[in-house]
Amino acid sequence: MTQHLAPSRPGIYARGTETVDAILKAALDVLIDEGAAAFTIRRIAARCDMKVGNVSYHFPRKEMLIQVLLDELVDSYGKMLDDLVRKPGLTAEERLKLVIILCLDDISSKRTTHLFTELWALANHDEFVADRVQAFYERVHGVIGEYVAAINPDLSDDDVRTVALFISATMEGATPFLGHGKPWADRMPAFTALAVQSLILLARTATSSEIAALAPVRELEPA
């Protein structure tokens, strides 16, 4: 008997059906509302009022759900960038400013604050999830790096990646402090203004020689 291989994007063959859409919504709701510890096929099935077998038919493992959820996030962010950032007539600095504002506005939402906190919790214990989350952030860094390179063409490719990573980490690092329901959430507008000013200045003025001077190669200490 011929063995049928699973599709490279699990569930894609049935996307758009009410069943798969309901499963994906339930999976997202469980992760956001109940956390990584509750993210099981059984709990997702209960959330969308289905039998476990119905859910596992489309998504035999929860990692498959993570993959599709992240693919959908990439698609949604890509559309948002196309609509708001990549429209013609903007300078690279204006595009980077919009990316920073969009990311920090997104972090302020309950959905993103809870979702990425729980994704990292899953990633700490699951290599597959860790790889998928890392791939997602590499795409984010790539978008930021595109604008950093345009703003500051004298930077080396490696230093563009470093500056892009710093910008991304600065924004993502705000989540536990200024995200939805966090202790300093009311300071997000001021944080966003400071981030726009300082991070664009960094992108404009950073030099490879300064980065090298600030981060010398560490010598190995004797054992």
Domain ranges, ordered by start, for the chain: 91-209
* Residue that the structure tokens 């506005």 belong to: 105
Q: Among 11-25, 82-96, 109-123, name the one with the lowest average pLDDT.
A: 11-25
The answer, yes or no, to whether residue 194 has pLDDT greater than 90, is: yes
Angle, to 10 degrees, between the axis of helix 92-107 and the axis of helix 62-84? Answer: 140
Residues in the chain: 223
CA distances (Å), origin 138, targets 77, 132, 162, 169: 13, 10, 12, 12
Q: Which residues contact 25 (CB under 8 A, 6 or more apart)?
A: 48
The answer, yes or no, to whether residue 122 has pLDDT greater than 70, is: yes
C-alpha–C-alpha distance, residues 62 and 23, integer Å: 11
Mean pLDDT of the chain: 87
Angle, to 10 degrees, between the axis of helix 188-205 and the axis of helix 92-107? Answer: 150
**H/E segment holding residue 115:** helix 110-123
pTM of the model: 0.81
8 A C-beta contact, residue 113 and residue 182: yes
Q: Determine the longest span between alpha carbons in the chain, in angstroms.
A: 64
184 pLDDT tier (thresholds 50, 70, 90)? very high
C-alpha–C-alpha distance, residues 110 and 98, integer Å: 21
| Confidence at residue 12, expressed as pLDDT on a 0 to 100 scale | 44
Over the Cα atoms of the chain, what is R_g?
Answer: 20
C-alpha–C-alpha distance, residues 203 and 52, integer Å: 50
Whole-number percent of the chain with pLDDT over 70? 90
Query: Tokens for 117?
Result: 């906190």
